[in-house]
Amino acid sequence: MVELRKSSWETLGGLAIPAYHAPSDDVERPGLPPYTRGIHENMYRSRLWTMRQYAGFSSAKETNERFRLLLERGQKGLSVAFDLPTQLGLDADDPLSEGEVGKVGVSISCLQDMRDLFANIPLDKVSTSMTINAPAMILLAMYCVVAEEQGVPSELISGTIQNDILKEYIARGTYVFPPEHSMRLITDIFEHCSMHIPKWNTISISGYHIREAGSTAVQELAFTLSNALAYVEAACAKGLDVDTFAPRLSFFFNCHNDFLEEVSKFRAARRLWHDLMVERYAPSHKRSTQLRFHTQVAGVSLTAQQPYNNISRVTIQALAAVCGGTQSLHTNSFDEALGLPTEDSATIALRTQQIIAEESGVADVVDPFAGSYHIEALTNEIYDKAKNEIEKIESMGGALRAIEQGYQQQEIHSTAYRYFNEIERGTRRIVGVNHGTMEEKVHIKPMKLNPEVAEHQKLRLDELRKNRDDSKVRMILASITNSSKTNENLFPMVIEAVRANATLGEIMQSMKDVFGTYSAPSGF
């Protein structure tokens, strides 16, 4: 018997609330295939979604202080933003990192940075999500070593690495290696984690950035699931059984302003992923066909004009994600169009989730919009259109071949162009931008970064290299380079390199010596 959060369920006015409505036996029920209504029978009645706030800036020590503040105020999971050099696998003292250290996330170059990031945070008690892609294996290795130093074995840590390189080629741009080698690293992670880090979500297949780049809801769903199929295919080609890795696949979606479309998108996504997996791979483990997803509300919808309006936007979007059945949720801070979120704005964002959970009533019932003629019609239409788009991509040879031809990129560019033309013409109204405008004085003071973080990181790396066993580091890095030429799994060697105090950039370079780097064809 699943334990419920409350002993009885009723409305504010005292009316009894059933877990869900199923007027006849042939109506799909929550927790059963194809999971349109939710992957769990009781959904939030038994456990609320994980409330995450994406955070990362300046030094590891300063980000750690923000993490601990959010945990003290009720956040249940951590979500790490890394700076651009870290996302690209560059050390903070690399000439290419100049001017970017600690700017859009936390700077992590070595094991000591990761220790500082999670100081006094018990890694067996929190779930951690890390938005990292090209160097995902290295950052996860650092996390594992820090957990071990806390006395927490890798078998007990839980969380997610984004590790979704295909959407980087489509929409975001922080790729490093050519696609073929990137896919090899991803499947190495699948294999290693299935044996040694069983609670870890090895990939968060992301539609978020595809939507932020300008796609429609249907394109977001189709391109994301098409990428997911490419990962499944690559892992199977490596010789992995689908049931050894598919249960740990997770997804990451955007939630935009069209409330009913977004609720329907999430319902369609679960059904479509189930059907695709059953049709193509016939897995025996039910979790292999369940689409579990994290949601972040739409950063691109936030406006610098009348920024307090963003609180309303975030609330609508968060409510849609919850009504759609998300497993975890990040709510943006209202001042993010102006700068880094302050403690006050981050707290408001967290409180928004808590109010939805505890006061709105929507968490008391499973799939609250089921049976709505409009929602059911939208769910079916999004399902059909997304499936048709996936089949079109398959006819081009799959997601990777379509990316190489620039198909997804060009489709997103066209959609984004139409959207912004509508705003400029005034046929699409954005309150505070082209509708409801007014003279305003903004008194928000965005958080300021520590200007000394880059110099501090350079000094730390200099000290590290002086005091470590350089011959041991060189030997391990050489073994990574040699193994990169074979099919041997690189994860164990990366962990040893981290333990020996090899830096992020050095480990990446040991792979670059074999894999090379990648530049997208002009015009994509």
337 with 303: CB under 8 angstroms?
yes
DSSP character at residue 49: P
Annotation: CATH topology of 43-425? TIM Barrel (3.20.20)
Amino acid identity of residue 118, one-letter, is F
What is the rounded CA–CA span in Å between residue 185 and residue 211? 25
What local confidence, expressed as pLDDT, does residue 220 receive? 98
What local confidence, expressed as pLDDT, does residue 523 receive? 55
Task: Give the 3-state secondary structure percentages of the chain, helix then strand then coil, rounded to 5.
Answer: 50, 10, 40
What pLDDT digit, counting tens, does each position of 464-521 carry? 999 999 999 999 999 999 999 999 999 999 999 999 999 999 999 999 999 999 988 7
Average pLDDT, the chain: 95
For residue 351, give both structure tokens. 């409180």
- Band of the pLDDT at 450, cuts 50, 70, 90? confident
Backbone angles phi, psi at 103, to 5 degrees: -80, -55
What local confidence, expressed as pLDDT, does residue 26 receive? 84
Amino acid identity of residue 178, one-letter, is P
Q: Which residues pair with 130 in a beta bridge?
A: 80, 161
Q: How far is CA 334 from CA 65, 309, 313, 340, 345, in A?
A: 21, 8, 9, 10, 6
What local confidence, expressed as pLDDT, does residue 53 receive? 78
Share of the chain above pLDDT 90, in %: 89
What local confidence, expressed as pLDDT, does residue 57 receive? 83
What pLDDT digit, counting tens, does each position of 87-126 carry? 999 999 999 999 999 998 999 999 999 999 999 999 999 9
Q: Classify strands 293-297 and 328-330 as parallel, antiparallel or unpaired.
A: parallel
The stretch 231-244 carries a mean pLDDT of 96
What local confidence, expressed as pLDDT, does residue 522 receive? 58
Share of the chain above pLDDT 70, in %: 99
pLDDT at 228 over 90: yes
Domain residue limits, the chain: 43-425, 453-515
What local confidence, expressed as pLDDT, does residue 524 receive? 56
Q: What angle do CA 205, 206, 207 make, to 5 degrees?
A: 130
Three-state secondary structure of 470-502: HHHHHHHHHHHHHHHCCCCCCHHHHHHHHHCCC
What local confidence, expressed as pLDDT, does residue 443 receive? 78
What pLDDT digit, counting tens, does each position of 154-167 carry? 999 999 999 999 99
Q: What pTM was estimated for this model as a whole?
A: 0.94
What is the rounded CA–CA span in Å between residue 198 and residue 206? 21
The stretch 353-378 carries a mean pLDDT of 97
What pLDDT digit, counting tens, does each position of 295-337 carry? 999 999 999 999 999 999 999 999 999 999 999 999 999 999 9
Q: How far is CA 169 from CA 164, 174, 236, 377, 464, in A?
A: 10, 8, 22, 33, 34
What is the rounded CA–CA span in Å between residue 447 and residue 56? 12
pLDDT at 189 over 60: yes
DSSP character at residue 324: T
What is the rounded CA–CA span in Å between residue 343 and residue 355? 18
